[in-house]
Structure 1
Amino acid sequence: MSTFPAQYSTLSATALKSYCETAYNLNLLNCKYLLRGVSDTYILTGETNKYVLKIYRDKHRSLEEIKGEVQLLNTLKDAGANVAYPLTDIFNNPIQKFDAAEGTRYGILFSYAEGKPVLEMNDEQLKITGREMAAVHNITSVIQLNYPRKVYTVNTTLTQPIKIIEPAFEELPEEYTYLQEIAPKIIEKLNSFDLSTFSYGYCQYDFLPKNFHFSDDNKLTFFDFDFAGQGHLANDLMSFFVHFFAHVYTGKLTDEEADRMFKVFIEAYREVRPVSDEEIEAIPYLGVGFWVFYLGFQYENFDDWSNLFWGPKFIKDRVALIKTWVNKYCEF
């Protein structure tokens, strides 16, 4: 009897444990499925070390794009940046191939980022984050990968996603009209800056605290560069600022404290790498692209990601959040 076609399978943690023990010559105690998100993530535990195994989806990341992520992380590691990096198997291969029910899926075993995410950072941790992000940018601003990665422009973060998500707004015409009307204003404002002077390179595009860990002795390790692509490096400052906005939006921080904390971060960043006042001024407008880009991603990947939160209420609430962002930070 032939197997019925599938579009998304979940690989067995037990089988992956056995596979990784052989492929990487490891003695593992267990392999546990952590989450189903952009990719499937597993935690592997050995006698002394932990590892993270990510299984990619072909619809989301091609093999060439995965190779680009590997090259980026290895470049960062070799240059001294604190990142979780791909490990190689006994044949020195960083990428594994799995014949899953839906077809070929690829996987990478990463070093483990020791520690845990800190959502309420103190000033010292803010300074460490600023300096370490700047150190990453000193590397990603001067390299060119041999493999393609997404390019973040107003077209890929605003124009295209707004067209893509139109069917999802059938019951929310006012919300869709708002996005259609705000996008050209954001684009016009961004074009008013001298973008040619903005630092450019590979940005992580998701520099939220969930994607870096602090150890007990405050050593920071960045991870999850799945969305890394070419663009203005101010996008990373913007995505970190999103964290403070979210805390204000949910009542966990005042505007004044959020602004103070972000300034602490920026001052530390500037100890390692310059960033112009104009780049900082552009953050609110780049941020609208951030929100719309991920709205488009969530819509396009609903079937495979199983993001159960997606629906009219989520969409309406997200547009309300974008309106709050625009009203609070953007000037036209």
Structure 2
Amino acid sequence: MDIFPAQYSTLSSKALNRFISERYGLVSTVCRLLIHNVSDTYLIENSTDKYILKIYRDAHRKLDEIAGEVELLTILTERGAKVSYPVADLSGHKIQAFNAIEGTRHGVLFTFAQGRVVNDMNDAQLTILGQEMAAIHNITSDINLKNNRISFSIESTISGPLETIKPAFSDLPDEYEYLTSTAEKVIARLNQFDYNNFSYGYCQYDFLPKNFHFDRNNQITFFDFDFAGQGYLANDIMSFYIHYFLEATYGKMSRGEAERAFAVFVENYRKVRPLHNDELNAIQCLGFGFWVFYLGFQYENFDDWSSIFFGPKYLKDRTALVKKWIDWFGGL
């Protein structure tokens, strides 16, 4: 009997454990699935070491894009950035291929980011974060990868995603009209900036606390560069600011506390790398692109992702959150 075609399989943890143990020369390891998402994340560990195994899907990341992520993280590691990096197997390969039911899936084994997520960072941690993010930008503004990565532009973060998500808003015309009319104002504002004042390079594009760990000694490790691509580095500053916007919006801290914490971060970023005020003033507009970009990503991957939350209520609530974001800065 022929195997019925599939579009998204879950690879066996036991089989992956055997495969990785043999390819990397690891002993007495166990493997378990941590996250089943548009890509899958596994934890591989033994009594002394931990690793993260990420299994990509071709529908989400093509091989050259995965190679671009591996290349970027390898360069960052070689230049001293504090990131979780891809591990080479016994033959020197950093990307593995798996003949899954739906076709070839690729995987990468990463070093484990020691520590934990810290949402309520103290000044010492904000100091480290600002300086280390700037150190990463000093590297990513000075390289050109051989492999392909996305380019973050008005088209890829605003115009394109708005067209992509249009069918999802068929029963929410007012919400879609708000997004499109706001997009026009945002694009007009973005076109007014002098981009000679902006740094350009490879940005992580999701610098939220969920993507870096602090250990007991406040050593930081950044991870999850899955969305990394070329763009204005202010996008990373913006994505971190979104953390404080959300903390204040949901009542976890006051706006004053949020702004003070962000100011500590910026002050220390500037000790390592220049940051023009225009880049900070662009946060509102770049943030609108961030929200719309990820709406487009969620919609495009709905069929292959257990995003049961993605429906009219979520879209209505997310549009309301985008409006709060715009109003947070006094409107447009």
Q: TM-score, normalised by structure 2?
A: 0.99
Q: Distance in 2 between matches of 1:157 and 1:306?
A: 23
- Note the C-alpha offset of 1:191: 1.0
Q: Distance in 2 between matches of 1:308 and 1:55?
A: 22
Letter in 2 for 1:169: F
Q: How far does the alpha carbon of each residue in 1:199-219 deviate from its partner, in whole angstroms, 9 at most, with x for none?
A: 000000000000000001000
Partner residue in 2 for 1:130:
130
Partner residue in 1 for 2:299:
299
Partner residue in 2 for 1:105:
105
Over 3 Å counting, the alpha-carbon distance change for 1:330 and 1:196 in structure 2 is: farther
Partner residue in 1 for 2:188:
188
Partner residue in 2 for 1:49:
49
Partner residue in 2 for 1:164:
164
Q: Partner of 2:218: helix, strand, or coil? A: coil
RMSD: 0.8
Partner residue in 1 for 2:73:
73
Map 1:1-332 to 2 at 5 A: 1-329=1-329, 331-332=331-332
Q: Partner of 1:267: helix, strand, or coil? A: helix
- Note the C-alpha offset of 1:331: 4.4
Mean Cα displacement is larger for which, 272-281 or 188-197?
188-197
Q: Distance in 2 between matches of 1:38 and 1:118?
A: 25
Q: How far does the alpha carbon of each residue in 1:139-169 deviate from its partner, in whole angstroms, 9 at most, with x for none?
A: 0000000011000001100000000000000
Q: Distance in 2 between matches of 1:139 and 1:28?
A: 37
- Note the C-alpha offset of 1:170: 1.0
Over 3 Å counting, the alpha-carbon distance change for 1:330 and 1:109 in structure 2 is: farther
Letter in 1 for 2:60: H
- Note the C-alpha offset of 1:305: 1.6
- Note the C-alpha offset of 1:39: 1.3
Q: TM-score, normalised by structure 1?
A: 0.99
Letter in 1 for 2:254: T
Q: Distance in 2 between matches of 1:330 and 1:87?
A: 46
- Note the C-alpha offset of 1:229: 0.1
Q: Distance in 2 between matches of 1:39 and 1:263?
A: 35
Mean Cα displacement is larger for which, 221-230 or 19-28?
19-28
Q: How far does the alpha carbon of each residue in 1:42-99 deviate from its partner, in whole angstroms, 9 at most, with x for none?
A: 0001221100000001011100011000100000000000000000111100000000
Q: Distance in 1 between matches of 2:310 and 2:155?
A: 24
Letter in 2 for 1:216: R
Over 3 Å counting, the alpha-carbon distance change for 1:195 and 1:28 in structure 2 is: farther
Letter in 2 for 1:234: A
Q: Distance in 1 between matches of 2:226 and 2:28?
A: 26
Gaps of 5+ in 2: none
Q: Distance in 1 between matches of 2:269 and 2:38?
A: 29
Q: Distance in 1 between matches of 2:16 and 2:237?
A: 36
Letter in 1 for 2:71: Q
Gaps of 5+ in 1: none
Q: Partner of 1:271: helix, strand, or coil? A: coil
Q: Distance in 2 between matches of 1:71 and 1:282?
A: 29
- Note the C-alpha offset of 1:196: 2.9
- Note the C-alpha offset of 1:277: 0.7
* Seq. identity, %: 56
What stretches of structure 1 move > 4 A for 4+ residues in a row? none
Q: Distance in 2 between matches of 1:234 and 1:29?
A: 41
Q: Partner of 2:29: helix, strand, or coil? A: strand
Q: How far does the alpha carbon of each residue in 1:271-302 deviate from its partner, in whole angstroms, 9 at most, with x for none?
A: 00000011101111100000000000000000
Q: Distance in 2 between matches of 1:150 and 1:28?
A: 38
Q: How far does the alpha carbon of each residue in 1:164-187 deviate from its partner, in whole angstroms, 9 at most, with x for none?
A: 000000111100000110001001
Q: How far does the alpha carbon of each residue in 1:77-136 deviate from its partner, in whole angstroms, 9 at most, with x for none?
A: 000000000001111000000000100000000000000110111111111110000000
Q: Partner of 2:51: helix, strand, or coil? A: strand
The answer to whether the 8 A contact 2:21-2:29 is kept is: no
Q: Distance in 2 between matches of 1:255 and 1:195?
A: 29
Q: How far does the alpha carbon of each residue in 1:190-238 deviate from its partner, in whole angstroms, 9 at most, with x for none?
A: 1111013200000000000000000010000000000000000000000
